Structure 1
């Protein structure tokens, strides 16, 4: 029978993946072909013949390759944990196929293999889960992987939502607060749900995309295995080379997993590796490992890593004025939560976890349940219809807490090619044969039938059609499901969605949340931010004139922070080519942003002055972090901390931020060229820099007074040299505000006043640059090979007239840009600009 719902759910995990489906109302975990396990390693390998291996076979190859890389410095042709680099420019090189592979391509191979586990039908639609803390570029990368794997219809679902759906169906707890503690192979999510009469609603989330089982493994490698080797062998040469060290740590990770898994059930465990199987030390001596680890030793190593996740969960509870005792359920998700160490820590610090669900399969199970509620796209339905059968449209709630449900049944005449009798009767019968509707006449307009549900389970109903003589008629679909006992509310926004604007008062380029798109808003969501201003005029047909709408994701406390300290999704550029008429400077702009339930972003910009609307789709950009740039960002961060200390500022906040920056720098320096490490370090650094920025703004009055006087004196000097009548009026207008601030010792508003003064001084510097460029072109006019001499002369005359009458950078900039284009010369006109001179909207 052709399916009308997606029905298939996939947990695409960092370490392991799983696929489940709804079959006759029940969730069926589809086992791997080779090992008949519920989960399959998210591992891809290429053998010497160029064939691809996925799952357990690939993992065996990965272990073998890793040992060879230790012993013989052989290249790796097997890959794991690529989920952590989804959405980045990281590639994995296979010498066996002479190709660089992206994370999306490797994930696609895992998805293809999961599809192959389904032997009785071809599937081209699925619900695929992602961590709640995944950024938009990571979600888009997941969709791309699914497309490469041949899926035509993909819905994305947050992992904690999937887990709560699976848990909620069987749970007797239908009210209260639930905390999903999802510690996976590569990511951590905590999701807080409020449940009322079985209706579940995610009210807040917290997470870390770079905290998972991988961090536990490396903690064991770095603190137990490598120190053991260092006691007996000289390996400083290996550890001092970033590339060699990364390979070495990766190869030793298998032994960490062995220790971790065995100590879940035993008091101690010994690993022994023959001489040479772990390669040679710096002196050419074959390395032998003979290490016994106790549970207490393991706990000492793993507890700090687990603590980071528990701290996330506690922060989440505190933010919502809750404690562990307030929870009705603490649901565990992910392989690492099988560890007795984390379970004991959770019981002591939050509450006793509920162990009634399998943390390894609960996500794919919940994804399949959710998939049973999602209609297939019409395109896919049409591909699979048997139009010789009477086609039906069956409408109903997919899940409910009620014991009765209204179901509409309608004949789709335009989708049916066979004969439809004049009279058609439908009978709906529950799968347990304990309830039936009796025959009800239906037609193309639709009929409503009230069905009875069995509590606390997925109810399967069969639909049978008859003609007026009682003959059976074939129909499609001929069954449907209704989940009774729990309803999962919509997924929620994991971050504040906002745009980059230049604050009119301070001149700073900051993150502004789009009202309606705050963190934890239910999806789909729509938000709008109105009355923004264009920074300069945009001339129709001029590509050099542009506005930019930069979309960012921000965490708690992002509002008003520097935009660059948040995650950049993408920038929409609207150029003069897009406008039908001249757009004046300071035109009002209204921005509307739509985010669908899979977090795809679309929107529009409306320009009131010319009654023009520009629609846009926001594709995400691939993340790339330059090593040298990030190194410099850490230096700048520590420099800002030292500046605060020199000024006598001391606080718990500052000490914590300094410690976090130093820890992040240490992490970064441990593997500077590793994409995953850089992304993790940058994510943590941004959080700390927001705190430092805030503290830099909270300065003491004597220092602020000195800075204010110096800034205003500098402005007056620049204005005397480079200003005009208009700027002189502005300077004179600001002067009383400066004097008043000094009289009042106004430490609250003075930082903003300093920003305004510095911004104006900067504008005057830019004005001088533009004026100088025009005079330079005028002086050297005859020696320049103009593309259009007449146009150039006209531009210069207009520029000189503006300089004489009332010059401003915004009025001269387009003239300079056109002159540069006409001359064929290049000049970094923006070199003297900060963000305020770009096409950033002001608000």
Structure 2
């Protein structure tokens, strides 16, 4: 039978995957080769270069990891798992047996191919694949690429929480109220808040963490339980101090951690046991490794509690910003294997509400994906490939999901798609699969007719289509069935991020994230956004490739507006050069942007130049990847964050001690996770993600306390200039001083930091010139004294270096130096002060837009 709807859904998970198909109106899990509902998302390449996927690969992986302990050579691996967490990056997985490197998409394609092989009774080329709600555009593009590599010609993406809510919604008695989907998977965490009105489900907000999942739990057990046990019972200092060896050890014992996590979801205690020789290798003193650890629920609470708490805090923040609490929820739906944990369920009940455990957390997403797939038409190209034109071709039109109990279905004959003979009169009879209702014979033709069908409540309704001639003979036709889901209806998917551009703000001069109006977080897709009134910084000459405008596209979290662009997720840099424009575009020209986002978050952009009355259209490519994060750079950035927080605490201007303490704890936890796995590609992404959130909070704190410090500095510099002018000034400088005095009250009234900093810079310059003219070497000495008196109030770029330079200058000043000797010290100190915000807006090359 040629399917007109996709009907197949895949939950492509970090650790486990599953496939479901619509059969007689019901989503049915297709069993794996080992007759299980789910299959490990694991790939193994054996010595004969054959690729294995699933349980056999997972078992081989455990052997592979143990073997790596013999030589501590992790590069010799031929088994791979959890590559979903590096989708959309340049991460490569080396297979020594195959003699090549695999990308995350190639490995995911092998999983998809294997899932597809579990369906042996028909060939299908269209699929719905679920992705985490918080997946970025790069990650979603990578998922579509994986589907193409697996042989699918048509792929639709669906957010995992929406899939879960579809499957849950059919059986749920609750058809009104708020639902919270708590999706803690193998590698990612999603929380989706839905509002349900008479069975119509609408996602109103989402939140999550792409680097929080079962993998984090496993490594917590490794780092907090298993490795401490080994350190206590064996001499392994040389292993712990070597990043590569430590990583091999972590990967080797991770299988014991996974088993512990699963067993402790259903038992009060579990013994981690290994015999001598089970773990290859020896410690620093030649002892063979073995494990004998009794794990209790209290140990699991202490180890996993902080990780689970992160997910619960995300949910609490999500509810809070929507003016809700746990008591307002009608359902808390659990998705993902880790949600079986009694530790988590107890924490959820205590902090949010009692979870609903009526659905299987492991299969609900796959089944929901199939339900959604039953509402999506296969592509026209695939329809044409699948048509059996010897049969009478029919076309149906109907609402695939509804909360009504009766629906109108249109049906007509596609004469141009039918090669066989079509009788002069054709009748169709639509029969519900339970045989309790039929439409009776209705005559149809090319113009079509409308049939009103009756639906059973709260379930998918499958209908068979019987086609007859005037004599009552049954005629072969297709499609011969369709399904309408009654009782729930899902609104469009929503944007999980604000989509915007990097822009240099006129107000602050900072390079910030600016949302595109119409593409804000939670906007239904497809969507169109606009941003007008942008200005170019330099002229663009036609035909000159070196002249260009750069439009960096970013995705921003909730509250991302006006944050530093680099704290958000970069998608792509759109470049419009002189080769793209028909004539000269003058400096300061207007640019209006229109950005379109489709259902799968594919982006297209149109830039309109009113000066030229010309538009340039760009498709954002779907093959971009993100580069690996440098561990050294990340280490520096973490330390910078710690120094910034320390400075804020020392200044004492920000009074919310609880917020500072929480932020200090977050940064320390981020640093701890970084130290535990500096060499882990995906852990570095996780650390950067957490660090960005902390940096945004630091920026907010600094911004809230920036004006009081600026106002104090403005007044102090003015009073000092007054004193200098009295000693060395003239009529001209006195007139300038009066101008400053008149402008200061207005600046203070508006609390304009940018203008205040410009005035401070101008007053300092005048003060410097006056003293230089009047005092010679004494001027440098006065500056050294002032720097020393105000050292703690100034915003030094490098506080330690500034202190050392100043101390060197003070020591020189005690020995009657010349102006020429002290001047380099003063210049160095001035260079260590923050630069005044520049009046032009851009990242330095003038190619960015001004907003």
TM-score when normalising by structure 1: 0.86
CA drift of 1:736 comes to 9.2
Aligned to 2:39: 40
Residue 18 in structure 1 maps to residue 26 in structure 2: no
Shift of 1:93: 1.1
Give the direction of change, closer, same or farther, for the CA distance of 1:640–1:370 in structure 2 (3 Å limit): same
Query: What is the alpha-carbon distance in structure 2 between the residues aligned to residue 25 and residue 733 of structure 1?
Result: 86
Q: What's 2:850 paired with?
A: 842
Deviation at 1:627, TM superposition (A): 2.2
Per-residue deviation, 1:839: 1.2
Answer whether contact 1:654 1:691 (CA < 8 A) is retained. Answer: no
Q: Please report how far the alpha carbon of residue 836 of structure 1 lies from its aligned counterpart in structure 2 after TM superposition.
A: 4.8
CA displacement, residues 706-748 of structure 1 (integer Å, 9 cap, x when unaligned) = 65589999xxxxxxxxxxxxxxxxxx99999964563357286
Which residue in 2 is equivalent to 1:60? 59
Please tell me whether the aligned partners of residues 668 and 678 of structure 1 are also in contact (alpha carbons under 8 angstroms): yes
Residue 297 of structure 1: how far off its partner (Å):
1.7
How far 1:446 moved relative to its partner? 1.8
Contact 2:707 2:753 in 1 (8 A): no
User: How far is the alpha carbon of 1:557 from its aligned partner?
Assistant: 1.4
CA contact (8 A) 1:510 1:562 kept: yes
Say if 1:428 and 1:461, in contact at 8 Å, map to a contact too.
yes
**1:462 CA displacement:** 1.3
Q: Name the stretch that deviates more: 611-620 or 148-157.
A: 611-620
* 1:705 and 1:742 in contact (8 A); partners too: no
Q: Following TM superposition, by how much is the alpha carbon of 1:250 offset from its aligned partner in structure 2, in angstroms?
A: 1.2
Q: What corresponds to 1:139 in structure 2?
A: 140
Measure, in 2, the Cα distance between the counterparts of 1:526 and 1:538. 27
Answer yes or no: is the 8 Å Cα contact 1:4–1:381 preserved in 2: yes
SS of equivalent to 1:835: coil
In structure 2, relative to structure 1, the CA distance for the partners of 1:413 and 1:711 (3 Å cut) is farther
Residue 643 of structure 2 corresponds to which residue in structure 1? 639
**CA distance, structure 1, for counterparts of residue 302 and residue 735 of structure 2:** 64
Residue number in structure 2 paired with 1:442: 444
Asked whether the 8 Å contact 2:505–2:841 carries over to 1, the reply is no
Distance 2:230 2:360 in 1: 37
Q: Is the 8 A contact 2:538 2:587 kept in 1?
A: yes
Cα distance in 1 for partners of 2:48, 2:373 equals 38
Give matches, 1:669-818, under 5 Å.
669-699=675-705, 703-705=709-711, 707-708=713-714, 739=741, 742-743=744-745, 746=748, 749-754=751-756
| 2:197 aligned with 1:193 | no
Q: Separation in 1 of the partners of 2:263 and 2:678?
A: 32
Q: Secondary structure at the match of 1:609?
A: coil
Gap change, CA 1:705 and 1:69, over 3 Å in 2: same
Per-residue deviation, 1:834: 6.2
Contact 1:310-1:346 within 8 A present in 2 as well: yes
Distance in 2 between residues matched to 1:55 and 1:78, nearest whole Å: 11
Distance 2:382 2:718 in 1: 67
Residue number in structure 2 paired with 1:179: 180
Matching of residues 317-716 of structure 1 within 5 Å: 317-619=319-621, 621-624=624-627, 625-650=629-654, 651=656, 652-699=658-705, 703-705=709-711, 707-708=713-714
Mapped partners of 2:694, 2:244: distance in 1 = 28
Name the structure 2 match of 1:809: none
Deviates more, 1:154-163 or 1:606-615: 606-615
The residue that corresponds to 1:79 in the other structure is 80
Q: Give the equivalent residue in structure 1 for 2:230.
A: 229
| Between 152-161 and 506-515, the greater mean CA deviation after superposition | 506-515
For the 8 Å contact 2:841–2:850, the answer to whether it is kept is no
User: What is the distance in 2 between the residues matched to 1:62 and 1:149?
Assistant: 22
> Where has structure 1 moved over 4 Å in runs of 4 or more?
706-713, 732-741, 754-761
Counterpart-to-counterpart distance in 1, 2:93 and 2:333: 35
Aligned partners of 1:506 and 1:755 also within 8 Å:
no
* Contact residue 132 and residue 190 of structure 2 kept, 8 A: yes
In 2, the alpha carbon distance for the partners of 1:756 and 1:394 equals 68
How far has the Cα of 1:87 moved from its partner? 1.0
Query: C-alpha displacement at 1:276, in angstroms?
Result: 3.4
Deviations 1:780-810 (A, max 9, x none): xxxxxxxxxxxxxxxxxxxxxxxxxxxxxxx
> How far has the Cα of 1:240 moved from its partner?
1.2
Distance 1:480 1:759 in 2: 73
Q: 1:220 offset after TM fit, Å?
A: 0.9
Superposed CA offset, 1:671-711 (max 9, x none)? 22221111011111111111112222233656314655899
SS in 2 for 1:207: strand
Aligned counterparts of 1:405 and 1:675: Cα–Cα separation in 2? 52
Question: For the residues of structure 2 that align with 1:759 and 1:518, how far apart are their CA atoms?
Answer: 38
Instruction: Say whether the 8 Å CA contact 1:509–1:836 is kept in structure 2.
Output: no
Aligned to 2:725: none
| Alpha-carbon distance in structure 2 between the residues aligned to 1:62 and 1:557 | 42
Please say which of residues 76-85 and 611-620 is displaced more in the overlay: 611-620
CA distance in 1 between partners of 2:10 and 2:369 (Å): 6
The RMSD of aligned alpha carbons is: 2.5
3-state SS of 1:551 partner: strand
- Structure 2: which 5+ residue stretches go unaligned? 720-733, 764-837
Corresponding residue for residue 124 of structure 2: 123
Structure 1 unaligned regions, length at least 5? 714-731, 762-829
Q: Deviations over 1:167-186 (max 9, x none)?
A: 00111110000000000001
Measured at CA, do residues 711 and 611 of structure 1 come closer, stay the same or move farther in structure 2, by a change above 3 Å?
Answer: farther
1:388-426 C-alpha deviation (Å, 9 max, x unpaired):
111111000000000110101011122111122222222
Given the two structures, how large is their TM-score scaled by the length of structure 2?
0.86
Q: 1:482: Cα distance to partner? A: 0.3
In structure 1, distance between residues paired with 2:116 and 2:736: 68
- What secondary structure, in the 3-state scheme, does the structure 2 residue paired with 1:746 have? helix
1:258 to 1:372, Cα distance in 2 relative to 1, 3 A: same
* Map of 1:789 onto structure 2: none
Contact 1:88–1:623 (8 Å) recurs in 2: yes
Deviations 1:257-278 (Å, cap 9, x if unpaired)? 2222222232222122122332
SS of match in other structure, 1:599: coil
> Paired residue for 1:31?
31
Task: Tell me, yes or no, if the aligned pair for 2:427 and 2:467 is still in contact at 8 Å.
Answer: yes
Equivalent pairs counted in the alignment come to 758
Counterpart of 2:301 in structure 1 is 299
> Given that residues 506 and 841 in structure 2 are in contact (C-alpha distance below 8 angstroms), is that contact kept between their aligned partners in structure 1?
no
- What does residue range 140-159 of structure 1 map to in structure 2 within 5 Å? 140-159=141-160
Report the CA distance between 1:616 and its aligned residue.
1.1
